[in-house]
């Protein structure tokens, strides 16, 4: 199968995630039926969401808690099975995979960073970072060496033998990021990775991520509830509310032209920061971001994976 580099890495088409559904199927067109289902306790966490993410792009999904953003990102590696819709990553249709294919897909094509880190408490930093490679069946000496490199990348050198409980929140999330980087997958999913950290550390981690991104050129889907964060990190972003994408565009576009009153309310604070010259510039200027070197993707991804071995 040929993979076109210019094609989006991630394509999501008409995605629905519905909880508490009695019958296996429903008609998304039938508004009346949907309303009736809602009254009977069915939860529409994600409703008809479509978007594309290009290679090397950072796509931010922003929304308040309960907006369905975490559900959405969990549908991408099929931690949750989508009720309806198509997800295609790297030309592979994730929504149609069986259990075996899915495990192989997760081992090689995606990596994820979680708000609550999800580190193994009984394994040290080095073993935690190497965990994904272990699942893949990479021999110990090789995986530990790769893990050491990733630990250096996130600036945790010298902490290899510490256990998660011995680290601060920021450091734990660095371990989480290293664990994702070492997978060398094209797609990196980040579910509110910095939301649990205090503001200064959060800022520092955002810097680290931008810096890393300049080196590794991942395709990142980043979920946050913080517009400032979305604007700093995102090439493009979407605002989510009650399971629906209210607006999609670059952070600049969204801040300048909020599509409705809901987005407007979100954006107004941010705009004040952005326009007032005395306040520190929290918003990362778009021009600088565009000067970033283009994604260093020269060969189809599976080929690169083969070279690595």
Partner 1 sequence: MFPVDWQFHVAPYIQTFIKWLIVAWGPFFEGLSSLVLGVLLQIEAFLKWVPWWGWVTIVVILSWKLSHSLFKSILPGLLIMTIGMFGLWEVAMETLGIVIVAVLISLLVGIPTGIGMAVSERFNAIIMPLLDAMQTMPSLVYLIPALMLFGLGKVPGVIATVIYAVPPVIRLTNLGIRQVSRDVQEAAVVFGASRWQLMKEVRFPLAMPTIMAGINQTTMMALSMVVIASMIGAGGLGEEVLKATNRIDVGKGFEAGWAIVVLAIVIDRISQAAAQKWEPPKR
- By CB under 8 A, the residues from 249 to 288 that bind partner 1 are none
Q: Is 303 in the site for partner 1 (CB under 8 A)?
A: no
User: What is the contact mask toward partner 1 in residues 156 to 195, using x (rule: CB under 8 A)?
Assistant: -------x-xx------------x---x-----x------
Strands 110-113 and 187-191: parallel
Q: Is 218 in the site for partner 1 (CB under 8 A)?
A: no
Nearer to partner 1, 91 or 118 (CB): 118
Q: How far apart are CA 63 and CA 284, in angstroms?
A: 19
* Tokens read off for 95: 């929504």
Q: Which of 54, 116, 203, 289 binds partner 1 (CB under 8 A)?
A: 116
Q: How far apart are CA 207 and CA 28, in angstroms?
A: 41
Q: Are 168 and 46 in contact (CB under 8 A)?
A: no
Residues 6 or more apart in contact with residue 13 via CB below 8 angstroms: 50, 85, 86, 87, 88
Nearer to partner 1, 3 or 79 (CB): 79
Nearer to partner 1, 28 or 118 (CB): 118
Q: Is 69 in the site for partner 1 (CB under 8 A)?
A: no
Edge to edge, the sheet with strand 10-19 lists 43-53, 10-19, 84-89, 92-93
Please state the closest distance from residue 121 (CB atom) to partner 1, in A. Answer: 4
Q: Which of 11, 54, 86, 107 binds partner 1 (CB under 8 A)?
A: 107
> Could you tell me how many residues of this chain bind partner 1 (CB under 8 A)?
30
With contacts defined by CB under 8 A, name the span among 5-13, 20-28, 43-51, 128-136 that binds partner 1: 128-136
- Give residue for tokens 């994702």: 180
Nearer to partner 1, 93 or 166 (CB): 166
Residues 6 or more apart in contact with residue 271 via CB below 8 angstroms: 255
Q: Is 139 in the site for partner 1 (CB under 8 A)?
A: no
Nearer to partner 1, 84 or 113 (CB): 113
Nearer to partner 1, 135 or 152 (CB): 135
Q: Is 81 in the site for partner 1 (CB under 8 A)?
A: no
Residues 6 or more apart in contact with residue 97 via CB below 8 angstroms: 78, 105
Grouping H, G, I as helix, E, B as strand and the rest as coil, residue 307 is helix
Longest dimension (CA), the chain: 60
Nearer to partner 1, 223 or 267 (CB): 223
- Give residue for tokens 């949907």: 34
Please state the closest distance from residue 112 (CB atom) to partner 1, in A. Answer: 4
* CA-closest candidate to residue 243, choices 51, 46, 69, 84: 46
Measured from the Cβ of residue 89, the count of other Cβ atoms closer than 10 Å reads 22
Please state the closest distance from residue 143 (CB atom) to partner 1, in A. Answer: 12
Grouping H, G, I as helix, E, B as strand and the rest as coil, residue 255 is helix
Nearer to partner 1, 104 or 257 (CB): 104
Q: How far apart are CA 45 and CA 30, in angstroms?
A: 17
* CA-closest candidate to residue 96, choices 13, 23, 218: 13
Q: Which of 43, 86, 91, 134 binds partner 1 (CB under 8 A)?
A: 134
Q: Which of 26, 44, 114, 283 binds partner 1 (CB under 8 A)?
A: 114
Contact footprint for partner 1 (CB under 8 A): 77, 79, 103-108, 110-112, 114, 116-122, 131-132, 134-136, 163, 165-166, 179, 183, 189
């Amino acid at each position: 199968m040929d993979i076109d580099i210019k094609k989006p890495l991630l394509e999501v088409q008409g995605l629905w995630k519905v909880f508490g559904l009695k019958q296996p199927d429903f008609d998304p067109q039938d508004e009346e039926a949907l309303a009736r289902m809602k009254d009977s306790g069915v939860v529409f966490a994600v409703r008809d969401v479509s978007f594309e993410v290009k290679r090397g792009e950072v796509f931010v999904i922003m929304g308040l808690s309960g907006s369905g953003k975490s559900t959405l990102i969990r549908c991408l590696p099929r931690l949750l099975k989508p009720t309806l819709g198509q997800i295609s990553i790297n030309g592979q249709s994730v929504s149609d995979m069986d259990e075996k294919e899915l495990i192989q897909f997760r081992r090689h094509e995606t990596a994820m960073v979680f708000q609550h880190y999800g580190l193994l408490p009984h394994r040290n930093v080095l073993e935690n970072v190497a965990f994904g490679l272990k699942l893949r069946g990479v021999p110990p000496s090789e995986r530990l060496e790769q893990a050491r490199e990733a630990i250096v990348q996130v600036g945790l050198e010298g902490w290899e033998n510490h256990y998660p409980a011995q680290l601060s929140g920021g450091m734990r999330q660095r371990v989480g990021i290293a664990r994702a980087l070492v997978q060398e997958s094209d797609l990196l999913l980040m579910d509110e990775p910095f939301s649990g950290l205090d503001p200064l550390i959060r800022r520092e981690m955002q810097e680290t991520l931008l810096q890393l991104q300049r080196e590794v050129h991942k395709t990142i889907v980043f979920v946050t509830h913080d517009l400032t964060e979305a604007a700093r990190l995102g090439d493009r972003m979407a605002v989510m509310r009650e399971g629906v994408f209210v607006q999609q565009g670059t952070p600049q576009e969204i801040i300048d032209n909020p599509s409705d009153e809901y987005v407007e309310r979100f954006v107004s604070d941010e705009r004040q920061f952005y326009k007032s010259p005395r306040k520190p510039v929290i918003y990362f200027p778009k021009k600088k971001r565009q000067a970033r070197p283009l994604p260093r993707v020269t060969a189809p991804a599976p080929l690169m994976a083969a070279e690595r071995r």
